[in-house]
Amino acid sequence: MTRAARETRGPCPNAAVRFYFAARQGKRGKMSQGFGSESPRAHVQRTHRRPARYLVVIDSGGFTVARLFLESRELVAEFDAGTEEAAQLTAGLVPAKGADGAEWDRALEGHSADERRAADVYTLPV
């Protein structure tokens, strides 16, 4: 091992020795009391996304997909309508037939008028 490698890494894996060499090279850092494990960072509280309000089950090119939307008709998620999650979300809910209203124009702009008329729209409890 070269002297430069020994000075940057330290002669042994001891944290105090590594801190000494880092301080000698001007790289001052805080020593943790984590016994070799890094301490977790402070938690940053962020605002959570609003809950999904609508579930639209719609045919998309031969495949039935379930699309989750916010109250503002913003797409949150899209997944296969045959999954267990889709069945759990729709359990006990009665769908409205058709998503051909003006409020769905922007959200479902990639779907044909026939697909939108045949869609099931579930209003999810919040």
pLDDT at 50 (0 to 100): 86
pLDDT at 99 (0 to 100): 92
- The secondary structure of the chain as a DSSP string is --HHHHHHH-SSS-HHHHHHHHHHTT---PPPSSTTSPPPPPP---PPPPPP-EEEEEEETTEEEEEEE-TT--EEEEEETTSHHHHHHHTT--PEE---SGGGTTTTTTS-HHHHHH-EEEE---
Q: What is the pLDDT of residues 70-81, one digit of tens each?
A: 999 999 999 999
Tell me which residues of the chain have a pLDDT lower than 70: 1-39
pLDDT at 16 (0 to 100): 63
